[in-house]
Amino acid sequence: MCFHISLNKTKDEVKKRFDVTPSALDVYKPFYHRNGFEKDFIYIIKDIEPYNFVPAYWGMLPESFEINQRDSFLKKTNTLNARAEHLFESPLFKRPLEYNRCLIIADGFFEPHSKNGQNFPHYIRYKDKSIFSFAGIYTELDDDLYTVSLITTLANDFFKEIHNKKNRQGEFRMPLILDERDEVDWLDTNLSIQQVNELLFTFTNKEFEAYTVSKDTFNSRVNSNRPDILNKVEYSELNTLF
């Protein structure tokens, strides 16, 4: 599952990639590492405002909730991720999937590789280091606050080798990264349910690279939002997967 991302691009790079209005980026602060359970924002582009760049809390809440209920809700119902195969069956996810779709903006993410009972964090990004977007859904709470879930799908061979531990359903998962040509469609408010469902089983055509990074990535007791968290770290226990 995907709970850790980065977005370390300048405002100019973000604007060039998504053509949002300059004033929309006044809220933007780059980050090297964001843990989904933290209280800091990630950034989205909503279907009804494709020209805007919006801060959002990771972990979707029902619209009737208040943001101060986020911690307790996530402890009971982890909505950082949403499984593509079951979204239309979910009372929580079905309506946002139909009416509140978004792009979750990132330039990399972190996944664990398990060996001999230890987890070794890997940082994954496009080979050309460019920005990309995860398929997401969102809700709007009172006071113009947004909460989001990142959609995941069944892992391909590349991601199975990195995140090599199955989930409770016995599956290997990966985040749904949209191909750039599919981003506009994902934000199209006129899509039919069938068209939305088809997009749930697409994936980017661009190539990835991955390398091992500091174990501080998954240590909530230290500050991991720092430049060196993206540096490569060699582990003798691994024979360098990639």
Per residue in 11-65, pLDDT tens? 999 999 999 999 999 999 999 999 999 999 999 999 999 999 999 999 999 999 9
How do 49-58 and 145-154 pair as beta strands?
parallel
Q: Can you tell me the distance from the alpha carbon of 190 to that of 166, in angstroms, rounded to the nearest whole number?
A: 36
pLDDT tens string 83-125: 999 999 999 999 999 999 999 999 999 999 999 989 999 999 9
Fold that domain 4-230 belongs to in CATH? hypothetical protein yedk fold (3.90.1680)
What band does 166 get if pLDDT is binned at 50, 70 and 90?
Answer: confident
237 in helix, strand or coil? coil
Contact of 132 with 45, CB cutoff 8 Å: no
Identify the pLDDT of residue 39: 92
Spell out where the chain has E strands.
Answer: 4-7, 31-35, 42-46, 49-58, 81-83, 101-106, 108-115, 118-126, 132-141, 145-154, 173-175, 208-212
Q: Positive or negative CA dihedral for 120, 125, 127, 129?
A: negative
Q: Can you tell me the distance from the alpha carbon of 211 to that of 124, in angstroms, rounded to the nearest whole number?
A: 7
Identify the pLDDT of residue 239: 72
Of 158-162, 226-230, 234-238, the poorest mean pLDDT is in 234-238
Among candidate residues 108, 132, 130, the one with its CA nearest the CA of residue 183: 132
Identify the pLDDT of residue 94: 96
For residue 183, give Cα distances in angstroms to 101, 173, 213, 218: 10, 21, 29, 30
Contact of 133 with 122, CB cutoff 8 Å: no
Mean pLDDT of 201-223: 96
Backbone dihedral region for residue 14 (phi beyond 0: left; psi -120 to 50: alpha; all else: beta): alpha
Is 0.75 topped by the overall pTM? Answer: yes
